[in-house]
Amino acid sequence: MSELSVNHLLGIKYLQKEDIELIFQTADHFKEVINRPIKKVPSLRDITIANLFFENSTRTRLSFELAEKRLSADVINFSAASSSVKKGETLIDTVSNILSMKVDMVVMRHPNPGAGIFLSRHVNASIVNAGDGAHEHPTQALLDSYSIREKLGGVEGKKVVIVGDILHSRVALSNIFALKLQGAQVKVCGPKTLIPKYIESLGVEVEPNLRKALEWCDVANMLRVQNERMDISYFPSTREYIQLFGLNKAMLDSLSKKIVIMHPGPINRGVEITSDVADSDQAIILDQVQNGVAVRMAVIYLLASKIKQ
Amino acid sequence: MGQKVLLNSKEVNIILHRLACQLIENHTNFENSVLIGIQPRGIYLAERISKILEEEYHLQKIKLGALDITFYRDDFRRSDKPLEANKTKIDFIVEDKRVVFIDDVLYTGRSIRAALTAIQSFGRPKDIELLTLIDRRFSRHLPIQPDYNGRQVDSINEEKVKVHWKENEGEDAVYVINK
């Protein structure tokens, strides 16, 4: 396969296994490109991309912007805090206004689940979902799988545990879809209040004990507790959370095998993982960030190649 | 669909040796020269030439790389079928080196135009030359000509020139195919 089956990247849910393989093969080429003395290719010089961030982001926004610039696309940035959205403009109006300035692709982060899907039905541009509420964050899941593939040689058959706030995490949902699609085994681990009720229907097992989960897995993806999305208290105290679900060096070293530690960032050091775990040689957190640029270049390149002139 | 043999295995072999000798004339011991095969089809020719130089003319350590030009092509979003990338493998610096691009068929010259842009990502070469097995003359879109040339052929646009290699297709031969 040399073409994606979709015209937008709205979620992993809409992708086929072959799409993920194509994205990874293309990302391999871009990873070589971004390690050259001159890290730029001219492919997308006639494409304009708008980055619309209706929610705060540092890493994802920078990563997308860098990916777009390394492909030579023209980039415009927009953040909701300093825009007419505050004056009451609707999403379609905002985007239509931007598109009338001849924009080919929109990368959007939005606090409402499904915002990207809604937009893709109403505007004529390629949409990349950079996170929509607690729904999906497809490029993060792709770069996580890509990092596992790079570190362990493949994703199929690997055992991955996702630890922490599964309920509010778009990273968890996209990762579950991506890992299952590629044939990995997935467990989730966290306080019962932060595990969605019907999680088993996704083919995922729940393991309430962190040590058991870590003994089972090849890779542990440690998620952040998303306090900003919590309307009520889901666990008694941060101290209790750390004791039950925080990963420290002593526990990591006491495991019977060396597992890979991942984190989508931003890290709350001392909560979900301690500093010495985050900085240990088992953590591939900074590799994830570097791979993020290559994977996003691949996604944008492949989607742009479907925009006909 | 008819096809005729342009070069047979014996003729390909003679031409490869001639091209290797012409390279030696200009580059002597290849101390400051690098060979770059253009992906996807140029790498077979580049590997062959480099093998002849090393095994039959006893030149040591020929620097050989592969350059993929997909992301530098001028027909992105214009061609009907999607462009597929190949591996770039250049594990040396081309800064101040004498670069020889190697490709099997020179047709419109657009691939070489893309390669000229792509190689700049690896430094500023001293000079760049072009070696091709087949030169389809009179079909150029750009002012690009080979420095070393196996065989010139007059073919119309409807025809396709296909180079077969022992490693890949089981024989060394060049065919002209009528579509």
The shortest CB-CB distance from A307 to any of B71, B77, B123 is to: B77
The pLDDT assigned to A289 comes to 94
Query: How many CA within 13 A on the CB side of residue A75?
Result: 18
CB contact under 8 A, A305 and B77: yes
pLDDT band at residue A56, thresholds of 50, 70 and 90?
confident
Number of domains, chain A: 2
Residue A84's pLDDT band (boundaries 50, 70, 90)? low
Contact A29 B120 (CB under 8 A): no
The reply to whether residue B121 touches residue A36, judged by beta carbons under 8 angstroms, is yes
Burial label, A122 (beta-carbon count in 10 A; 0-12, 13-18, 19+)? exposed
Q: Which two tokens stand for residue A300?
A: 């944008």
Cα separation, B15 vs B41, whole angstroms: 17
Q: Does the annotation mark A109 as catalytic?
A: yes
Residue A1 pLDDT > 70, yes or no? no
Residue B120: DSSP 8-state: G
- Please check whether residues A210 and A266 belong to one and the same domain: yes
Asked whether residue A281 falls in the same domain as residue A293, the answer is: no
Residue A83: its pLDDT value, please? 67
Q: Which residues of B touch A38 (CB under 8 A)?
A: 120-122
pLDDT of residue B74: 87
Is A29 close to B117, i.e. CB distance below 8 A? no
How many beta carbons lie within 10 A of that of residue A112, not counting itself?
Answer: 14
A224 among annotated binding-site residues: yes
A100 and A68, same structural domain? Answer: yes
Length of chain B: 179
The minimum CA-CA distance between B82 and chain A, rounded to whole Å, is: 6
pLDDT in tens, A234-252: 888 889 999 999 999 999 9
pTM for the whole structure: 0.90
The CATH number of whichever domain residue A99 belongs to comes to 3.40.50.1370
What is the domain range of residue A154?
138-288
- Domain for residue A162, yes or no? yes
Arch. (CATH architecture) of B29-158: 3-Layer(aba) Sandwich (3.40)
Q: What is the pLDDT of residue A163?
A: 96
Element (H, E) at B153: strand B148-153
Side chain identity at residue A277, one-letter code: V
Per-residue pLDDT reduced to its tens digit, B70-108:
999 888 888 777 778 888 999 888 999 999 999 999 999
Query: Which H or E run contains B159?
Result: strand B159-164
* CA–CA separation, A55 and A62 (whole Å): 14
Whether the CB of A304 is below 8 Å from some CB of chain B: the reply is yes
Instruction: Count CB atoms within 10 A of the CB of residue A192.
Output: 9
Residue A1 lies inside a defined structural domain of this protein: no
Catalytic, A274? Answer: no
Q: Where are the beta strands (DSSP E) in chain A?
A: 48-53, 74-79, 105-110, 126-132, 159-163, 185-189, 205-206, 219-222, 260-262
To the question of whether residue A87 is assigned a binding role by annotation, the answer is yes
CA distance B12 to A248: 65
Tokens 């998620």 label which residue? A223
Please report residues of B whose CB lies closer than 8 A to that of A71: 71
- Please say whether the beta carbons of B104 and B150 come within 8 A: no
Contact B120 A38 (CB under 8 A): yes
Give the DSSP letter of residue A192.
G
If asked whether residues A166 and A177 sit together in one domain, one would say: yes
Please indicate, yes or no, whether residues A280 and A146 belong to a single structural domain of this protein.
yes
Which residues in B lie closer than 8 A to residue A43 (C-beta atoms)? 71-72, 76
